[in-house]
Structure formats: C-alpha cells, structure tokens
Structure 1
Amino acid sequence: MTSFDTERQTAERLADIAASDPTDGAVLAAAVAAVRLAGRTMLDAFSERTRTPDDLGSLVRAIHANDDASLAIARRLLERSLPTAGWVDDELEGGVLPPGDWWIFDAVEGNVNHVHGLSEWGISATLVRDGAPHLTVVYEPVADRLYTAVRGSGVAALNGEPLRPSTKTELKAAIVTTGQARPGESAETYRRIGASVTAMLNSALVVRMTVPATFQLGLVAGGQTDAFWQHSDVRSGLAAGALLVSEAGGSVTDLQGRPWSFASNDFLASAPGIQREALAVLGEVA
C-alpha cells in the first residue's frame, strides 16, 4: 500500500466519524484530511519549470483539468463527512446562500498560478452555515502551510499556531494588498480597482496586487501584511479568509464600514488599528 492510499484511508475514516457525529472538531478534521489529500495530488502535478500555455484555450483546458483532478479527490470526502450539506458548484459565484449548511470548495485556488509554475496556489474548503462562514481549511501545498478556523472560537491557526493581526496604527506604515477577483469584470469595477490602488499608493507604505485573495487574507490574519480590499462579491475568494481574519482578531467589513456578509458588494479586512484610515481612503473611490 502506498502512502497516498494510507492517507486516503485516513481521510475516509475521518469523514465517516464526522458523518456519525458532526461536531465542529470532527468536521474540521475531516475537511483537513480531504484538503490535504487534494493538495498532495495537485503538488504531484506541479512544477516550477512549467511555463505559460501557448494560448488562452490551452490555459483554460489546463485550469479545468486541475479543477477536475482536485474535485475528484475532495468532493466525495467532504460530502461523505457532512451528507446534509449542499455544494456550491461555481467558484466564481457571489451572493447570499440559502439557509443550512453549504460547502464552498475552491479546487485549486490560484489555479492560474499553478498552471504557470508559480507557487502561490492552494486548496480551500469552507463550511457556510446559515449564511455565514462557519469553519474553514486552507492548504498551501508548496509551502506546507495549513490554515484553520472555526467561527466563535476566537482562534485562527497556521500549522496549529494561533494567528494575530498586526498592531499598526498608521496606514503610512502599512503593507496593503488587493487583487482581481475574476476575469471579465465590468469596466466600472476595473475603474474602481485602478482608482483604489492609486488612492492607496498615496496613503500606504507599500501596495501589492496579486492573487489568490485567500493567501493575502491569511497574511492579514497573521500580521505579515496589514490590509486587503477587493471590489468583488466572489464567495470562494473571501469566505475562508474572512473567517481567518475575524477569528484572529482582525476587522472584516465592506468598504462602507458595515459588517461584511455574502450580500456585500465589496470587502475590506485589516488590522484593527488601521481600519478607520483605510476605510477613509477607499471611501474616496466613488
């Protein structure tokens, strides 16, 4: 028996335990096993020597092949662990989910990076309960970084160690980040992204723009960076990171300062000490 077979059997056993007694701890353990197994599969298919496909059609086919390979591993395990939960099929969708339990699974978050031989990609699974992220697992296979959080616990962790946001109180000392949520956004959304980047360039220490969003939100939760904003409602890019930041003790709102939810049109996660100033700067973008 290979080590992969052993890991798969463990994941199946944990899924069955969760199905028979769906406590947060059991479901989280099952999700960790499923996400790790999918991540191992995608790591086997990854090479930093990979170069960009020749055309858009080849790129899209490679992305879909990655999604299919990851889904084939993780979906049945996650559904087995919590048979009553629904499944969000389109990872680029936004908006409110119906009541009950739903899995938001990003089969290869940062898939475009994987296809291009860049290391910033991962697997995420977030259980949404009655409209709010309830527990999440994010795995970055190249760096072997595993983020976890459960709503109401007051703990978000990286490889088992608690995360805390930065204690900065000045935006001029802050590293801030944004990114494009999906291809094909509206011209108005692109205008707002550009205007917000310009506004932050005039106010923050350093402005970064990259994907995937969840990776950037993990850095905010852990205090390596200080804020992330996005003009987007894409659930799969925000659900996991919003829970990580909030449970770590950070601030999560929309760009008007209201509590963020899946009904929000935009998003800001930040260290508490710079939230008000970041909102003021981003609020200037009409």
Structure 2
Amino acid sequence: MQNEINIPIILDAVRKVGDVFLKDYKQNLIPQSMDELLQQLEDIDTLCLTSLKEDLSQEFPDIPWHIGDEFDTDSQRNPAEQQEYWLCDAMDGAIQYLQHIAGWTVNLALIRNGKPYFSVIYDPLANEMFWAREGEGAFMNGKLLELSRKTDLAIMLAVFEYGHQDKSNNTLNEKIGATVTKLLSNFGIVRNYGPHGLQLAYVGAGRIDLFVQEDLDTYNWIAGLLIAKEAGAEILTTAGNPWKWGSESLLVAQKSTTEKYLQMKLTN
C-alpha cells in the first residue's frame, strides 16, 4: 500500500536546495568549453540530488530516485518499472543558470503507477513555489492557480520549445520551424523562454496562454504537466490526441485555445 505524502516536508526540501543555488547564482565563471559546461552541469545534478535525498530519505525511505536525463531519448519513452519513485530534474534551465540569465528552477515529481502523482517547481529568483497533487488542484505559494480566460488570439502569449534529441536524421527541425511560423501567423505574442516545466506551470497560472513542442521531452515536461493539468489545462499532442508518457509532441492550453490551434493545423 502506498503511503500518503507529507507535502510541507517536500516543499521545504526543494526550497532549501533552490536557495543554495540562489546564493551561488552568478558566482561561477560562465563555461567556455564543452568540458567546463559538462562539469558544471554534473556539479548541479550532484548538489541537488544529494541535498534532496538527505532531506527526504527519513520521511520516504522506501521511495527510489531517478534523474531525468533529458539527453537520453530512449529512457523518456516509458516510465520506470518501479510502482513509485522520485523523478528529479535537478535544474530545469541549467544553461540559463550557468550563463547568469534568469529562468531556472528545481523540479521534483513523484511518479505512481506510471503517472505523475505529485510535483513541485521552485523558482528561487521569483520566490515562487508551484505544486500539485493528482485530483486536488494546483497552487503557487498557497494560492489556487487559474487558467487564462482570454479568447482573442491577438493578445495571447504562445510559447514553443524544443528538446535535445538528435534531429539530424528526421524532420523535427522542419516541424519546429512550421510550428513557429504557425504561431507567428496566428498569435499576438510568441516567445521561447527556456525552462519547460516553469512555462507549463505558467500556463496553469494564466501567465502563458499556450505551450507547444514538436519532439519528445518527457523529463522536462513531467513536473509542469501535472501542475497545468490540475489547474484545468488540456494536455494533448499536437495531433489533438490525449498526451501519454512517451508521446512525441505536446500541446497545453485551455480547451478553447487548443481547439483554435488544432483548427489552424487543419487549415494552414
């Protein structure tokens, strides 16, 4: 039998390590070589996972841990075999962090029976903690999240993203380019921000009106997906089918906006 979770303990653990990163923000030298970049990314992963494991192991001693390696395409196609596990994106937007740019978060999700059951996204720079538990709504700093109620595409903010999988032997670059063209042709404001999970949480908070991505990026999405879903957003593929683990595209917005986007796909 799976136990209930102590949400305040989880939030405190995520806040603690996020605030460590905040204290060190802009203290590193911006990496100037691939070796330096990879080493600093590894240091971020190590610091984050060590801190979270230390703080959560006593409360949840039997829950195993998985690092969400966004560069490992194959591992993102299916959930792990364990019935329950932590999936940690040590830092979503780590490149921004290393480049001394805003837009980085600590993300943690609890996966149960192959689906996100609880997730948290902490933005230390903004002091904003987004979290959701399945079936109970989504929150930011204790306030219930609500989707945007906009109906006019001319004032909507749409964002697009892309992942790190190899695009040399497929048509993904062309798909991404077509998606950007479609957004520019139909939405008043189009952006690419960086931290995937935070953008999905922003959909839940009504700050972003539509999120779309044309490749496989499960680990970057998973924490934000639950937050957006619990706030009431539709979670679809760009073909209009319900999103499931391993889907190779993602479309997230309020229902009326996804319907408009999918109609664009049919008519453009």
Q: What TM-score does the superposition give when structure 1 sets the normalisation length? A: 0.84
Structure 2 stretches lacking a partner, 5+ long: none
Match of 1:273 in 2: 256
The residue that corresponds to 1:161 in the other structure is: 143
Q: From the superposition, tell whether residues 282 and 78 of structure 1 become closer, same or farther in structure 2 (CA, over 3 Å).
A: farther
Mapped to 1, the partners of 2:266 and 2:60 lie a distance apart of 41
| Residues 284/76 of structure 1: CA separation in 2 closer, same or farther (3 Å cut) | farther
The one-character-per-residue Cα deviations of 1:10-56 (angstroms, maximum 9, x if unpaired) are xxxxxxxxxxx9313x1x22221221111122112212x76632222
Give the paired residue count. Answer: 261
Residue 33 (str. 1) matches residue 12 (str. 2): yes
Q: 1:68 maps to which residue?
A: 46
The residue identity in structure 1 corresponding to 2:209 is D
Letter of the structure 2 residue corresponding to residue 43 of structure 1 = L
187-196 or 197-206: which moved more? 187-196
- Alignment counterpart, residue 227 of structure 1, candidates 207, 210, 222: 210
Considering fraction of residues, name the structure with more helix: 1
Match of 1:190 among 173, 177, 193: 173
- 1:23 equivalent in structure 2: 4
Matches within 5 A, 1:44-63: 44-47=23-26, 52-63=30-41
Structure 1 residue aligned with 2:55: 77
Alpha carbons 1:51, 1:117 under 8 Å: kept = no
Matched, 1:125 2:133: no
Q: Which amino acid aligns with 1:52?
A: I
% same residue = 25
Aligned match of 1:264 in 247, 250, 253? 247
> SS at 2:67's partner residue?
coil
1:260–1:267 CA contact under 8 A, matched in 2: yes
Cα deviation for residue 175 of structure 1 reads 0.8
Q: Which amino acid is the alignment partner of residue 55 of structure 1?
A: S
Kindly indicate whether the alpha-carbon contact (under 8 Å) linking 1:254 and 1:267 is maintained by their aligned counterparts in 2: yes
3-state SS of paired residue (1:88): strand
AA in 1 matched with 2:150: K
Does residue 208 in structure 1 map to residue 187 in structure 2? Answer: no
SS at match of 2:101: coil
Question: 1:64 and 1:99 mapped to 2: Cα distance?
Answer: 25
Distance 2:142 2:39 in 1: 36
The one-letter code of the counterpart of 2:87 is I
Q: Deviations over 1:99-147 (max 9, x none)?
A: 5112110111111011010121110110111111111111011111100
Q: Displacement of 1:184 after TM fit?
A: 4.1
Q: TM-score by structure 2 length?
A: 0.89
- The amino acid of 1:54's aligned partner reads Q
RMSD: 2.1
Say which is worse superposed, 264-273 or 171-180, in terms of deviation: 171-180
Amino acid aligned to 2:140: L
Q: 1:174 aligns with which of 156, 163, 174?
A: 156
Secondary structure of 2:69's partner? coil
Would you identify which runs of 4 or more consecutive aligned residues in structure 1 move more than 6 Å? none
How far the C-alpha of 1:283 sits from its partner, in A, is: 5.9
> In the alignment, is the contact (CA less than 8 A) between 2:109 and 2:119 conserved in 1?
yes
Distance 1:178 1:109 in 2: 16
Task: Structure 1 unaligned segments of length 5 or more: list them.
Answer: 1-20
Paired letter, 1:218? A
Question: How far apart are residue 194 of structure 1 and its match?
Answer: 1.2
Do the aligned partners of residues 117 and 128 (structure 1) sit closer, same or farther apart at CA in structure 2, a change above 3 Å counting?
A: same
- Superposed CA offset, 1:203-230 (max 9, x none): 1111111211111111111111101011
The answer to whether the 8 A contact 1:126-1:136 is kept is yes
